[in-house]
Amino acid sequence: MLKRLPFLCTALLALAACSHSNDSSTPTAPSTPAPTAAPATSAPATTPATTGSAAATPAPAASAPVSAATAAAAPAAPTKASAFVEDPKWVEGKNYFRIEPAQPKVSNTDKIEVAEVFSYACPSCNAFHPMVDRLAKSLPSDAVMAYLPVSFMPQENFPMFQRAFLTAQALGVADKANDAMYDAVWKTKELSSENASGQGLKPMSELPTLADAAKFYAKYGADPKEFLAVANSFSINTQVKRADELVKAYGVEGTPTIVIDGKYRIDLRAAGGYAQMVELAKYLVAKEAAGK
């Protein structure tokens, strides 16, 4: 008889990600130990560009000499205000990974996308989400936050939370209910996958359902009947399939993970911690903005 997988997400929460190593079809990233003393400093500041003085203005004909006052009033050629500087403490292939080939973004934004790959049922995502909220608010005007829910741990109810999030997003209530959903799983326990003792998982037959999620989202303006109808619609089925495909295409091995523009992947262990994930995300946003 097959045994249910252990409660992988809860163990070693400090640097543990919710893993789906049982999914052999998912591309794997280099397995690199976390830095022993990952710095927790703020993202490196950009430095002024040193491209030299403004370009010289072509001299007029000899018959029209230019006075010193006229020369002084001539506008200088535009120069860049700042330039991106590589930081040697962030090593590609060690602290973050390039996704090759680059994959589509989660959203249809033209801006630089910072996507959190997550599940409400993942305890590491619960610990990380206040920092993600602050990251979203601190992004520059040319970057935007997106969210990609996963389904790879059915024993912890990830598929239900994935479908519920995509449904709430379609109904326009996902953002305002985001913090409360984490609380419903981890504080009030009304949507928890854990048993009453908190020492293991509920049987699959007793896990919270989409109907339970519909009741929760009703507090934020969603009609429960409409919620269930949308949750089981062709549109959401298509979005669920696409989310699973992106998770595989990005090479995601656990949650939380951050993906920058479909090109770079940051995971908790390789980055060295939650604060380092945020710092590295800001660094890679600046790298993308500079076209590096």
Task: Residue 186: give its domain's CATH number.
Answer: 3.40.30.10
pLDDT over threshold 90, residue 113: yes
pLDDT over threshold 60, residue 42: no
What pLDDT score was predicted for residue 31?
Answer: 38
- CB neighbour list of residue 207: distance below 8 Å, 6 or more residues apart: 157, 160, 193
**Is 68 part of any domain?**
no
How many folded domains does the chain comprise?
1
**Is 23 part of any domain?**
no
Q: Return d(Cα 280, Cα 97) in angstroms, integer.
A: 11
AA letter at 147? Y
Top pLDDT among 51 and 134 is at 134
Structure-block tokens of residue 261: 């523009």
Instruction: Report the pLDDT averaged over residues 201-221.
Output: 97
C-beta separation of 9 from 18 below 8 A: yes
pLDDT over threshold 60, residue 73: no
**Is 74 part of any domain?**
no
Top pLDDT among 181 and 64 is at 181
Nearest C-alpha neighbor of 260 from the set 278, 242, 238, 240: 278
**Is 245 part of any domain?**
yes
pLDDT over threshold 90, residue 62: no
Q: Which helix (H) or strand (E) holds 116?
A: strand 112-118
What pLDDT score was predicted for residue 7?
Answer: 43
**Is 187 part of any domain?**
yes
**Is 79 part of any domain?**
no
What pLDDT score was predicted for residue 199?
Answer: 86
Lowest mean pLDDT of 64-68, 106-110, 191-195, name the range: 64-68
Q: For a pLDDT cut of 70, what percent of the chain falls above it?
A: 73
**Is 19 part of any domain?**
no
Top pLDDT among 76 and 168 is at 168
- Over residues 232-251, the pLDDT tens digits come to 999 999 999 999 999 999 99
Nearest C-alpha neighbor of 108 from the set 161, 144, 133: 144
- CB neighbour list of residue 252: distance below 8 Å, 6 or more residues apart: 26, 117, 150, 259, 265, 267
Confidence label for 84 from pLDDT (cuts 50, 70 and 90): confident
Mean pLDDT for the chain?
81
What pLDDT score was predicted for residue 20?
Answer: 64
Q: Return d(Cα 222, Cα 211) in angstroms, integer.
A: 12
pTM, full prediction? 0.75
Q: In Å, how far are 42, 43, 67, 114, 251 from 283, measured between CA atoms?
A: 10, 6, 47, 11, 21
**Is 269 part of any domain?**
yes
Confidence label for 21 from pLDDT (cuts 50, 70 and 90): low
Domain that holds residue 173: 98-292
What pLDDT score was predicted for residue 79?
Answer: 39
pLDDT over threshold 80, residue 213: yes
Which residues sit opposite 146 in a β-bridge?
Answer: 115
- Over residues 122-159, the pLDDT tens digits come to 999 999 999 999 999 999 999 999 999 999 999 999 99
